[in-house]
Amino acid sequence: MIVNTQISYGYESLIEVFFKANDLTVTIQDMRAYPYGKIILHYEDDSDTALAITMLSYKHLGFENMLCDYLIKCGISPSLIPIGKAPVKRDMNQVDKEWQEHRKAIGLTR
């Protein structure tokens, strides 16, 4: 079975953890070459994994919905799931210092 999702490949490591925790034999196609590549999943049709995915999908109202719920519980904003970026906390003092150095480098200040 091949499942094309709308989940960014940037969350591939989190999705792998989910599959290992649920003892599912699912492979994720490598989409690193594509900047906004989506996760493509492969698993055997007649296997314990297919049965487990069917039961989990029934419980969570869909396979992709289940994976998105998992990512949301991991702290990923729902609007960032298809994009593949997570908010990064930055030290504003460090950002200001870098900006001042950049301004000096391009000649805006002395």
Phi and psi of 28, rounded to 5°? -110, 125
Residue spans per domain, the chain: 2-105
**Residue 35 — pLDDT band, cuts 50, 70, 90?**
low
Digit-coded pLDDT (tens) for 75-86:
888 888 888 765
**Distance of alpha carbon 108 from the chain centroid:** 40
User: Residues 11-27, buried b or exposed e (16+ Cβ, 10 A)?
Assistant: bbeebeebbeeeebebe
Give the global pTM.
Answer: 0.69
Q: How many helices and strands (H and E) does the chain possess?
A: 4, 3
Mean pLDDT over 25-30 rounds to 91
pLDDT surpasses 90 at 51: yes
The answer to whether the beta carbons of residues 69 and 60 sit under 8 Å apart is yes
